[in-house]
Amino acid sequence: MGSTVIDSFIETESRNAIAAWLLAGFVLAVAASSLLVGDLLWAGFAAFVCVLAVLPAVAFRSGRVTPPWEVLALASGPLVVRTFGPGGVGEFATYLSVAAIALLVAVELNAFTPVRMTSGFAVAFVVIATMATAGAWAVVRWIADLYLATGFLGSEEALMWEFVASTAAGIVAGIVFELYFRRYSRALERPLAGETP
């Protein structure tokens, strides 16, 4: 099978690896601290981001093989805001992070399995996965409300606005990722200094 732009999205540069490992360490620290204070939801979220960050290095048995640090930064953004910010993390920021996680999953599926995706399909996957995550999260909260009387779900209007926020975050992330893919693809096509095309 031929290589696609998304295949080369897994980075092997030292600078990228250093930034990615620093972000992975931060996310792991956030997961541990969230677990210690009993915030299982954010601990699980942080642990999942950390696993996705280190999976390429484990698979290729090289600490230099990492996803782009920019995508990891976007995925861990709500964790940074939650740790250092003054207030709570908004729904839009959380779903933007979910979109970045969906992109990481798409990249790693493409790199480590027989699945092959074009950049356009990967972007569509990001948007749909973000919307599906919002729906699945709403169902989990509805079941918790129904059987445990938790009050997690809130009003129907708030739920609909959450769906709007997740859709908007997925679309914004999709556009940003498409632009990033295009820039990355052009950078791959440029000949190195001193090379003849």
Q: pLDDT by residue (tens digit) across 116-146?
A: 777 778 778 888 888 888 888 778 777 877 7
The model carries a pTM of: 0.71
Closest CA to 105 of 30, 31, 175, 10: 10
Residue 10, sorted as left (phi over 0), alpha (psi -120 to 50) or beta, turns out to be beta
More confident residue, 97 or 12: 97
The whole-chain average pLDDT of the chain stands at 76
Q: pLDDT by residue (tens digit) across 83-97?
A: 776 655 566 777 777
Q: Which H helix or E strand runs over 117? A: none
**Domain definitions of the chain by residue range:** 7-189
- Asked whether residue 6 carries a pLDDT value surpassing 70, the answer given is no
For residues 107 and 128, give the distance between their C-alpha atoms in angstroms, rounded to a whole number. Answer: 15
- Asked whether residue 192 carries a pLDDT value surpassing 70, the answer given is no
What distances in angstroms separate CA 108 from CA 3, 38, 165, 171, one per listed residue?
A: 14, 30, 26, 21
How would residue 1 be classed by pLDDT, with cut points 50, 70 and 90?
very low
101 alpha carbon, distance to own chain's centre: 2
- Asked whether residue 64 carries a pLDDT value surpassing 80, the answer given is yes
114 three-class SS: coil
